[in-house]
A and B are shown apart, each in its own frame.
Chain A
Amino acid sequence: MKKINLGTIVLYILLAVGGLIMIFPFIWMLISSMKTWAECGSMPPTWWPKDPTLENYVYAFKTAPFLKYFRNSLIVTVLCTGITMFNTILCAFTFSRLRFPGRDIIFSIMVSLMMIPYEMLIITNYTTIVKMGLYDTLAALIIPFTSSIFYTYILRNFFLSIPDSLYYSARIDGASNWQYLWNVMVPIAKPSLVTIGLLNALTCWNSFMWSILVVGSVNNRTLPFGLFAFTDQAGIRFERLMAGSSIVVIPVIILFLFCRKQIVTGVSKGGLKG
């Protein structure tokens, strides 16, 4: 029998307490969202709703078009991620496999562009979107974000690690650059692509400030914007606001439970290079 170390037990307890503190806001969000107004405003607070109710959710979906927000968020996330991935794959391929004069110089310029804070760009991007006639459309939430240098950088590094001999082999087998990319490189890079796709999808889903600038009508709001606007509709009724927050957060929690490993790898791989 292995002796159970007292220190180990203490460590587990400390980690558990810490973990609980970290997710507590979300637990509290879910609990509060199922309380009645009266219970939510009672002191001392109850740790579990006496009479769990989904009424706040019903209210949220009725008062504000959360279903529509949800749909918009989904469209924006899926399209933006799809287009971004497509662009990223092609661009990473260009800068890792193809040859043309000035390739390395252009790429290092691109890398240095990464340090431009996004907020610096909104001043002009707002005008550009308006001029393109895309103000108050879902496209305005997608188009400016489809060229990510950061993801290209990560993917290019991965592409560079694929041996040249595979490329030459494929070329001799008769494959064009395009066929090689989609038949060989992309399948091999699948884990990296999944990671990048997940990170991108999360960013899209949570994106907020830009949508406030370029979306005017209720119909084109995404979830975070919708939730923010919900404050006006729900007033300071936290049980309702928590129901609204849950609608935004729960899909992400589910995604995270399933894809934690890929997301964490992506963050740890890309974190220090960005």
Chain B
Amino acid sequence: MKVTIKDLTKRFASRDKTGETVTAVDTLSAEFESGKLIALLGPSGCGKSTMLNMLSGILPVTSGKIYFDDKDVTELSPDKREVGLVFQNYALYPHMTVLENICFPLKIKKVRKEERIAKAVEIAKMVHIEDYLKRLPKELSGGQQQRVAIARALVKQPKLLLLDEPLSNLDAKLRIEMREEIRRIQRESGVTTVFVTHDQEEATSISDYILLMKLGVMQQFSATRDIYNNPANLFVADFIGNPTINQIHGVYVNGGIKPDGSDEIIPCSIKANENDRVVLAVRPESVLFEGGQTTGTVNDMYSSGKDWLVNFNIGDTELRGYCDADYNVQEGSVIKVGFRDKGQFLFNEETGERY
């Protein structure tokens, strides 16, 4: 099912008595393609959970419209939207066994008992919890509870699956395992899925599309690969990628950037207005340690497995880059570096807009 959001806005009254309102989601428009996995990404407080809750119908909207395919569902109550929702804390019914939990939506729909058990078992097999059907939620591990929650959300064959920070309650190892599971389950079921996360790595590793938000405003909505390779603004470039992108603040002069605290000019193929304050952002893997012309000083270096992560300075700016393990530098070494065109972006310092 295709999801279309038009000028969606949500304002909350602030907690204190000033009567001011906080805009959690600001005139946001997007279209989610059918059968895709979309990540709602952003730092905490950016309005991504609010978005999800409006999609599910838990939160009424202030203004704007939500369409499922061509149907306007903005005013529809949650039970009529045919969505499945998995909460951060899973929200399993503590007094029901795994099987009863999964069966619950069907029981409410008055599906015959044999039929609902058959369906529940089928879904349970898909999420690999068929061995725990008789257990109570509290007797399961976090990952298993997560699977039950997903099964319960899927059993009624929703047209849209919503996951609210599904992995944040799991430990690191399980998190990676479960995110791949979510990807697999989503592929198998083919259901359009929206999931909320604040972890860019989580988002980039499994989603087809990423919608990145900041303070209620959509920053970029594009295919996952594009958001990394083609960030719309400085915030996006900064938020996506680990280690984070290098930022060199300076002035645009003579077709290059003069970094603060340095007299050298870094050549740059991207055009900007002369004397603009700019930020040159470079992905760490786009830093070249051979054939460059800009002078840097090595601060320290860490082994990151197959290669080294080098921490160096250009003027006042600290940067990071990857180099081969056999590249011979040490702390204090003065080096010449350059930047690859790919993974190099230029932004206006004031507006964050990309040139």
Contact = CB atoms under 8 A, between A and B. Distances in A.
Do the two chains touch directly in the complex (Cβ atoms below 8 Å apart)? yes
Interface of A: 163, 165-166, 168-176, 179, 183-184, 187-188, 190
Contacts of A184: 93, 95
Interface of B: 56-58, 77-79, 81, 83-85, 87-89, 91, 93-96, 104-105, 107-109, 152-153, 156
A174 B79 contact: yes
Given A174-B105, A190-B95, 7 more contacts: A165-B88, A165-B91, A168-B58, A170-B104, A172-B56, A175-B108, A188-B94
A98 B89 CA distance: 22
Contacts of B109: 174
Nearest to B59: A168
Which 3 A-B pairs give the minimum distances between C-beta atoms?
A165-B91, A173-B105, A169-B91
Contacts of A168: 56, 58, 78, 85, 87, 91
A165 B89 contact: yes
Contacts of A165: 87-89, 91
B104 A172 contact: no
A212 B91 CA distance: 51
A174 B153 CA distance: 11
Given A168-B85, A184-B93, A173 B58 contact: no
B79 A171 contact: yes
Nearest to B85: A172
17 contacts: A163-B91, A165-B88, A166-B93, A168-B85, A169-B152, A170-B104, A171-B58, A171-B77, A171-B78, A172-B57, A172-B83, A173-B104, A173-B105, A174-B108, A174-B156, A187-B96, A188-B93
A221 B109 CA distance: 48
Nearest to B155: A173
A172 B79 contact: yes
Contacts of B87: 165, 168-169
Contact of B91 (A166, A175, A187): A166
Contacts of B83: 172
Among A170, A172, A179, A188, residue most surrounded by chain B Cβ atoms (within 10 Å): A172
Contacts of B91: 163, 165-166, 168-169
